[in-house]
Amino acid sequence: MIYHIAREIGAAAVTAKGRVDAILLTGGIAHSCYVTDRIKEYVQFIGPVYIMPGENEMAALAEGVCRVLYGLEPAREYGSPEPVRAATSPQVMAAR
């Protein structure tokens, strides 16, 4: 798993044409010094590595729903490039 994460970081660096300001390791797995230290061994030559442990996925999901409900961005169906119809306000959503 560590090798695959490092390989994806390297692939992203290639996509960015080597212009990498920093590498940020985050999420629940970033609580593991074993994992983050091994990943750093592979990728620290690309750029400085910062670790920000924590699970912010639920907050990000909630913020995304709010942006859709308030009409700031369209809802998208997973796997679909086309926006789907969505309610534009919490009141409309509550009426459904």
Query: pTM score, two decimals?
Result: 0.61
pLDDT digits (tens, 9 = 90+) for 3-46: 999 999 999 999 999 999 999 998 889 999 999 999 999 999 99
Query: CB 59: neighbour CB atoms within 10 A?
Result: 10
pLDDT of residue 77: 81
Domain ranges of the chain: 2-53, 57-90
**Angle value at C-alpha 25, between 7 and 11, nearest 5 degrees:** 25
